[in-house]
Amino acid sequence: MTAVTTPKKEKFIVPIGPQHPALKEPGHFEFAVDGEVVTDATVRLGYVHRGIEKGAENRNWTQNLYLVERICGICSHIHALTYALGVEALAEVEAPPRAQAIRVLVAELERVHSHLLWFGIAAHEAGFDTLFMYSWRDRETIMDILEALTGNRVNYSANLLGGVKFDVTDAQRAIILEGINFLEERTHHYLNVATSDGMFLQRTRGIGVTRLQDAQRLGIVGPTARASGVMRDVRVDAPYAAYDAFPINIVIETSGDLEARFVVRLKELFESFRLIREILDNLPPGDLQVKRFPRRIKPGEVISRVEAPRGEVFYYIRSNGSEQPDRVKVRTPTLCNMASVLSLSIGHHLADVPMLLVGIDPCFSCNDRGVVVCSSEGSHDQWTWERLRQYGIEYYAKKV
Amino acid sequence: MESVINVAALLVFPGGLFVIVTGLFYQWIDRKIIARLQNRLGPRWFQPFADTVKSLAKEEVVPDHVNPFLFVALPIAALAGALTAALYVPMAGLRPAFSFPGDLIVTVYMLSLLTLCTGLAGANTRDRFSLVGATRALTQLFAYEAPFLLALLGPAIVAGSWQISEITAYAQAHTWMLVMQPIGFIVALIGLMGKLELPPFDSPEAETEIVAGAMTEYSGRGLAVFHLGQAVELVIGLTLITSFYMGGFSNPLEFLLKTIGVLVVLAGLQSLMTRLRIDQTVGMWWRYGALLVLAQWLVLFVVELLYT
């Protein structure tokens, strides 16, 4: 008897990534298309895994502050802030109010920079390069402000364990206010463009609609969730740093499409501008850092949550009483939102896929950190930092 | 002597070097204006020339699983088609090299050869991006081709001839047809943008979705020749539209000023708009483009009936 092979229906798969013009970071998506319509989607992540969590176990508490800051180039302050807040909670030390306010100030400035950056990229994915160029030009203002304030354009290094590094001088205050005024005016313009430009609306209105129930079911976070009407914002749900002294108003849209995501992010900018002005006007007096922060932290574990520009950043930190953390686990908002891209893109046109992908503001290097320590036999094998490094060297030596 | 002139017409003017050089120059103007509108500096004047020379000098990589003959021949056919079209068009206010009744139709279809070759080139290579790009290029061809041709036939009807040189002569002698047939002008202009795959009609080569569309697998010579074809087509398209709708031209200076004027408008439109999805492009052309042109034709016929 001959084996009967059933003809398998072949799928036409369009790969996006790992190296693709739509993505500035490596991530691999496979979209099965029927003509122009996407019928199936899969994702493969992990191309920029850098072993940071493992690396954190081999550095002391202070050194890690600089390591976690390098998880993401866009929300670097947020990572350092989350880590610092977690470690401070473990050590039962609290940073002075002035330091907390400055932390929030930098966080909000960073949010402005992140949202403007996202706005430009989203416009570029839609093929609207003029908007991209303009928003990135205006983003330079906020980059200059951050540089004037912290001395750095990317990894601001504002946090210390138990405080911040710098104070806000009157000259810096003037620079910030001037920049914010300019950006507020520009943001009004962008909001107008994003909600009234007919050609642009054709690409955003009614595209990628996520209903409230779906957003809740998939566990979407951040502005993406708020665009679907989910009242979820760590700054309000569990105020950290100085957010109880300087509360924010949640920006909510209910339509859940790409346009709503644009509107939510742009309107959040106005909230940030308001908050920045408020903090600059009412900066609490006092010290910038605590007198002494312990080298060793007594055993314990802590969960630290912060609202990054993209959504909730979650840190789990465990101490075993030594100078180094026993475990640092990071979960970034991209991971929470990724499932929504895959489920959303089915039924949409291939041309909408980059827009949908960018709609969640993905950050792949934030995302890719997991270390697999389970071998096939199921025995849990601990990898040391040295072994991980050696594995990396051999892996790439084999490739060449 | 006759043959020498013919060879010169093919190689130098208006069929060869002249259109290529003008096309590259116009591409630089286009890029520069868009860059300035987008608050960028833009390329230096020789950038398109440098790009072309560099690409022409590079090795052409022929990928696996393609028909190598087609892979090499398609760019050449595309450029040849565009250059042939240039022979029938009055360049720089001078008489065209060849002219016969009905050459307008030949010219327009020679121009379509570029899109057709792009589509076939994409379908020839076994790349998914190329295939999607090729499908989109050909889909788009069927969308704008008819309205574009109808828009160019508007002046032909008024002039009573389908010969480009006669229509141009008629346009020179009468009021600008831009005033008499504004809809036709707009449709022709936007049709040219579709033909050249400029934004917002650049979904066949949308870099954020399908890398470079049908051109993805092309490199070196093939790519350069395709780009030269586009440059040539840009000049021919601009010349046709300005000579038909903007009163023709009697000298090279007028040619330069008028065509660059239209080019500035094209660049402005490109930087203003978001890329359309392919279904939106097709829908727009058939729903608005074709209907508007037909409405204008109706008006033309009614006016002609009343006056004769």
pLDDT by residue (tens digit) across A17-62?
788 877 777 888 888 888 788 888 888 877 888 888 888 888 889 8
Residue B273 forms contact with A (CB below 8 Å): yes
In chain B, whose CA is at the least distance from the CA of A127?
B275
Position B200, amino acid: P
Report pLDDT for A8.
Answer: 53
The predicted pLDDT at position B295 comes to 87
Each residue of B83-108: pLDDT tens digit?
A: 888 888 888 767 777 788 888 888 88
- Burial of B174 (C-beta count, 10 Å sphere; 0-12/13-18/19+): middle
Rounded Cα gap, residues B94 and B91, in angstroms: 6
- The mean of the pLDDT values for chain A is 85
Measured between beta carbons, the chain B residues lying within 8 angstroms of A203 are: 274-277
Going by C-alpha positions, the residue among A170, A164, A159, A151 that lies closest to residue A287 is A164
Beta bridge partners of A308: A311
ipTM of the complex: 0.83
pLDDT score recorded for residue A400: 65
Q: Which of B37, B128, B203 sits opposite A130 (nearest CB)?
A: B37
Query: Which positions in chain B touch A20 (Cβ < 8 Å)?
Result: 211
**pLDDT class for A1, splitting at 50, 70, 90?**
very low
Q: Is residue A114 a contact partner of residue A309, using CB atoms and an 8 Å limit?
A: yes
On chain A, the residues whose CB falls within 8 A of the CB of B278 are: 36, 349, 351
Q: Would you say residue A69 has pLDDT above 60? A: yes
B274: closest CA of chain A, how far (Å): 4
- With a pLDDT cut of 90, the percent of chain A lying above it is 21
Average pLDDT over residues A127-143: 89
**Chain A positions in Cβ-Cβ contact with residue B268 (cut-off 8 Å):** none
Does residue B199 sit in helix, strand or coil? coil
Q: Please check whether residue B175 touches A, CB under 8 A.
A: no
pTM for this model (two decimals)? 0.84
Q: Which amino acid is at B213?
A: G
For the segment B21-74, what is each residue's pLDDT rounded down to a tens digit? 989 999 999 999 999 998 888 898 899 999 999 999 988 888 888 888 888 899
SS3 B134: helix
| pLDDT number for residue B53 | 92
**Percent of chain A whose pLDDT exceeds 70:** 92
- The amino acid that residue A205 corresponds to is R
Least confident of A26-30, A188-192, B10-14: B10-14
**Tens digits of residue pLDDT in A264-303:** 999 999 999 999 999 999 888 888 888 888 888 889 999 9
A137: nearest CA partner in chain B:
B39
Centre a 10 Å sphere on the Cβ of residue A389 and count the other Cβ atoms it contains. 15
Are A21 and B211 an interchain contact pair (Cβ–Cβ within 8 Å)? yes
Instruction: Write a three-state SS string for B73-130.
Output: HHHHHHHHHHHHHHHCCCHHHCCCCCCCCCHHHHHHHHHHHHHHHHHHHHHHCCCHHH
Residues of B in contact with A354 (CB under 8 A): 208-209
User: How far apart (Å, rounded) are the C-alpha atoms in residues A388 and A394?
Assistant: 10
Q: How does B63-99 read in b/e, with b if 16+ C-beta sit within 10 Å?
A: beebeeeebebbbebbbbbbbbbbbbbbbbbeebbbe
- Classify residue A159 by its DSSP letter: E
Mean pLDDT rounded to a whole number for chain B:
85
Q: Report, in angstroms and rounded to the nearest whole number, the Rg of chain B calculated over CA atoms.
A: 19
